[in-house]
């Protein structure tokens, strides 16, 4: 399972990160390139087999020139000239696989040579394939020469006339293949680090733009992306800055337009209210006042709905306890306090919310619940509270006729009214505002209803910790 999670994490990161993607491509490419070069440089060069055959021939000639038994003076002179270690054994004193050691040498140039078994990599047939015929003794036996290793050092074994000769370098062994691999791995790691730093610096404008988009989403229209250099990414950063500035101007112009329109609409409404107040009492006076109040409410709610629709509007967040928030909400219903029944205990948790907007959202739900509960002559609505981990759920239940399932998704659309409920006062924007308020707080509005039995509206919001 941990391996699967790591694989999923790698795939997810590979798909989401441009820098990680480019770095991965470059790392794979560089690793393959270095491996190919390393393997190529370590391939045997053309004709190496022929040179080994020639080397074997020369060893056999030298050993034959020493005679049988070998003339030690000639042996010492030759190995000194060519800087080799040499050990001579009779056949019966050669390496014993039972005791796992050599016997007593006939003669050796160094006490600790040879210090391990000889491991051959060539045989007589290899030299014959290269056209090299090794010499024979006076009774026709071919000199047996093998090239190989003694303790990872190049060595040669020659068997001639009942004697076995071992030759090895008298110089320190060169760095082995392991060191080559270590150096290659170190080079790859250094190249990856340099590549990552270079790519990160090169693509830093992308990271800055990514951060700027997050800030833009959270309502920051004033920050700009620093411009580094004159390349395509710098040009893109300039375009993003320009786009942000244009959006800010458009939003400001839109807000000013709405304010101007609302002011122009409210002015005649104020005059109408004054004129209605001056009209003598009449049966239609109350209806006129109600229509004026309705128009005033439509204008106010349209302005609030537009403001909440803008994802670039900052919330005025503050900390408030849930009991304190509910006390403030209940103060908005002085005449209906006895109709609002709190079923469960209000949890003593703290929320970080825009207090006025959250009060407005809860008030709208309570207002709707009271209005629609009157249809069934039930003069109350019920409130339930529930906490789950760090989520607070506020559920408001009414006793209205309920809502058909196909109409539930439309309830939060602006100005949508259920056909059979159009006799209930309102203008169909209350739930729209509730949804926008709760979503602005990263919460959720859940609507549950069964036709004929009433509805439950639930606000889910994070608890401040």
| pLDDT score of 74 | 94
Is the pLDDT reported for residue 166 higher than 90?
yes
Q: Using one digit for the tens of pLDDT, what is the confidence trace for 26-49?
A: 777 777 777 766 665 665 544 566
What pLDDT score was predicted for residue 424? 57
pTM reported for the whole predicted model = 0.47
pLDDT score at 197: 81
Q: Give the pLDDT of residue 305.
A: 62
Which H or E run includes 287? helix 285-309
Average pLDDT over residues 117-121: 87
Q: Terminal CA-to-CA distance of the chain, rounded, Å?
A: 32
**Tens digits of residue pLDDT in 220-230:** 777 788 877 77
Is there a contact between 237 and 265 (Cβ–Cβ < 8 Å)?
Answer: no
pLDDT in tens, 424-458: 565 567 788 888 888 888 899 999 988 878 889 99
**pLDDT exceeds 90 at position 402:** no
User: What pLDDT score does 71 carry?
Assistant: 93
Q: Is the pLDDT of residue 312 over 80?
A: no
pLDDT (0 to 100) of residue 107: 93
More confident position, 68 or 131: 68
Fold designation for 317-462: Heat Shock Protein 90 (3.30.565)
Q: What is the DSSP letter of 92?
A: G
Residue with tokens 């080397």: 55
Every domain of the chain and the residues it spans: 2-43+177-202, 48-169, 232-309, 317-462
What is the fold, at CATH topology level, of the domain defined by 232-309?
Helix Hairpins (1.10.287)
- Structure token pair of residue 61: 């000639």
Q: Dmax of the chain from CA atoms? A: 151
């Amino acid at each position: 399972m941990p391996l699967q999670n790591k694989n999923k994490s790698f795939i997810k990161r590979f798909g989401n990160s441009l820098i990680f993607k480019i770095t991965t491509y470059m790392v794979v490419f560089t690793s393959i390139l270095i491996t190919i070069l390393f393997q190529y440089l370590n391939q045997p060069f053309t004709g190496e087999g022929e040179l080994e055959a020639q080397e074997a021939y020369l060893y056999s000639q030298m050993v034959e020139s020493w005679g049988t038994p070998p003339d030690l003076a000639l042996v010492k002179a030759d190995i000194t000239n060519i800087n080799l270690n040499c050990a001579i054994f009779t056949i019966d004193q050669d390496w014993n696989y039972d005791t796992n050691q050599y016997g007593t040498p006939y003669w050796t140039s160094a006490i600790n040579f040879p210090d391990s078994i000889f491991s051959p990599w060539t045989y007589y047939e290899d030299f014959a394939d290269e056209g090299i015929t090794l010499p024979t003794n006076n009774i026709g036996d071919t000199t047996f020469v093998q090239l190989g290793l003694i303790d990872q050092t190049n060595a040669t074994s020659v068997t001639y006339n009942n004697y076995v000769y071992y030759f090895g370098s008298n110089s320190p062994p060169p760095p082995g293949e392991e060191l080559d691999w270590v150096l290659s791995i170190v080079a790859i790691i250094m190249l990856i680090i340099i590549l990552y730093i270079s790519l990160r610096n090169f693509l830093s404008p992308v990271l800055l733009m990514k951060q700027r988009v997050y800030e833009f989403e959270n309502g920051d229209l004033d920050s700009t992306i620093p411009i580094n250099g004159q390349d395509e990414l710098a040009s893109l950063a300039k375009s993003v800055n320009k786009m942000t500035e244009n959006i800010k101007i458009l939003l400001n112009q839109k807000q000013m337009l709405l304010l101007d329109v609302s002011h122009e609409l409210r002015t005649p409404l104020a005059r109408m209210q004054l004129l209605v107040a001056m009209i003598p009492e009449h049966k239609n006076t109350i209806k006129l006042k109600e229509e004026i109040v309705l128009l005033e409410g439509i204008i106010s709610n349209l302005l609030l709905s537009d403001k909440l629709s803008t994802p670039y509007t900052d919330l005025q967040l503050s900390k408030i306890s849930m009991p304190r928030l509910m006390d403030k909400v209940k103060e908005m219903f002085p005449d209906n306090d006895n109709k609002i029944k709190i079923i469960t205990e209000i949890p003593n948790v703290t929320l970080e919310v825009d207090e006025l907007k959250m009060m407005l959202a809860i008030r709208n739900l309570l207002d709707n619940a009271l209005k629609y509960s009157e249809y069934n002559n039930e003069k109350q609505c019920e409130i339930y509270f529930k906490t789950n981990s760090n989520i607070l759920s506020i559920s408001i239940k009414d006793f209205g006729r309920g809502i058909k399932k196909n109409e539930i998704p439309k309830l939060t659309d602006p100005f949508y009214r259920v056909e059979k409920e159009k006799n209930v006062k309102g203008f169909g924007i209350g739930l729209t505002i509730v949804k926008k308020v709760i979503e602005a707080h990263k919460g959720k509005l859940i609507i549950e209803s069964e036709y004929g039995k009433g509805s439950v509206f639930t606000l889910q919001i994070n608890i401040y910790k």
